[in-house]
Copies of this chain bind each other. A is one copy, B any other.
Amino acid sequence: MTANVHSLRQRQQIREVFGAVSPRLKDVEAFLERELEHALPLVGKVAGYVLGSGGKRIRPALVLLISKMLGYTGERDIRYAAVVELIHSATLIHDDIIDGSDLRRGRPTANRKWGNQTTVLVGDWLYTRTMDLSLELGDVQIMRVLTAATLQMIEGEILADQVRRRLDLDETTYMDITRRKTAELFAAACALPALFQPSTLHLTDRLAAFGRNIGLCFQLIDDALDFTSSRSELGKPVMADLREGRITLPMILLLPRLGQDRRRRIEEVVATGEFASISEREILEMVTTSGVLTDVYRRAADYADEAVALTEQFPKGAERDALTRVAALLLGRRS
């Protein structure tokens, strides 16, 4: 029940923050639907399943909100909001294959439902099609931002795969991976609207920095929630990261604070993917009582603060205010 209340409250907050762009978000959905209708039936089915899995559309909403803040009145915001969501979906599809994940947002993953073969190809199709969607308007600069972000995401996933099950993963490497895997697409989503009009080009880097900061905040909260949330809130098993051998910031900060025995028992979880040597409850207690979670939230708050500070250089108004609330919302998120 708690899960539903959290989830409902959060969805409501998201709706409020992005309220000004909700009619345009519907246009984005229509754009995505049209796009999938024209794809091969199997591609449409698999991609539709992933796109329809209850994602909160935060990235597209950011594209729309920032476009509005910059006084953009054309149609590119809808197209590129859709493109960013398609890139995000392609990444999720391939990441779930890489991680061998069975569940996402409470439903079987696409690879679980259609097999790795089909889903690799659907991911490929989505990546390539997004390029095509940008090319239709000849937006070279926009495409460069998108391909650069996509390359960073893929490289982030490659690096993450290389350090899987490595308990000696250091914080700097971890933050580099997190920036690439999560923050660069947020950065791209926020920077793109500046490229829609020559008059806003000078805001590109600042908007990217804003996006990068909320992206880092978003991911650190995600890492913490993987420990503290319930299965029903997460829509996947608790401590899925640890199960799949992904060492995240809470664990990186916790390990040096542990004695050899406990460390060894956690090593076993990471090696086997099972909580035989130590229970989830014990691990949760450790990250909570050790102060590690507080540290993680503090860092996430620092990124959110940095993002909010950056908004001071954006055009004043309701949209800018909404952007500062987005940062607070991502920080306060419970699922």
Contacts A128-B127, A128-B154 given; does A117 touch B147 at CB 8 Å: no
Copies of this chain, whole number: 2
CB-based contact B118/A116 at 8 Å: no
With a CB–CB cut-off of 8 A, which chain B residues contact A124?
A: 94, 123-124, 127, 154
Chain B residues positioned under 8 Å from A40 (CB to CB): 155, 158-159
Instruction: Select the residue from A94, A131, A135, A159 with max chain B CB neighbours within 10 A.
Output: A131
- Tell whether, in the assembled complex, residue A161 and residue B121 are in contact, meaning their CB atoms are under 8 Å apart: yes
Interface of A is mostly: helix
**CB-CB contacts below 8 Å: A142-186 with B:** 143-144, 147-148, 150-151, 154-155, 157-159, 161-162
Cβ-neighbour of A42 out of B120, B140, B162 (below 8 A): B162
Contacts of A144 in B (CB 8 A): 132, 135
Chain A: number of interface residues, binned into ranges? 35 or more
Indicate if the CB atoms of B128 and A147 lie closer than 8 Å. yes
**C-alpha spacing A94/B125, complex, angstroms:** 12
Contacts A132-B144, A140-B140: A118 and B151 contacting too (C-beta < 8 A)? no
On chain B, the residues within 8 Å of A157 by CB distance are: 121
Known: A125-B158, A154-B125, A159-B40. A147 touches B120 (CB 8 A): no
Residues of chain B within 8 A (CB-CB) of A151 are 125, 128-129, 132
The complex places the Cα of A148 from the Cα of B122 at a distance, in Å, of 15
Chain B residues with Cβ below 8 Å from A159 are 40
Enumerate chain B residues within 8 angstroms of A94, measured Cβ to Cβ. 120-121, 124
Interface residues of A (CB under 8 A from B): 40, 42-43, 94, 97-98, 116-118, 120-125, 127-129, 131-132, 135, 138, 140, 143-144, 147-148, 150-151, 154-155, 157-159, 161-162
Q: Return the 5 tightest CB-CB contacts between A and B, nearest first.
A: A98-B117, A132-B147, A138-B140, A124-B154, A121-B158
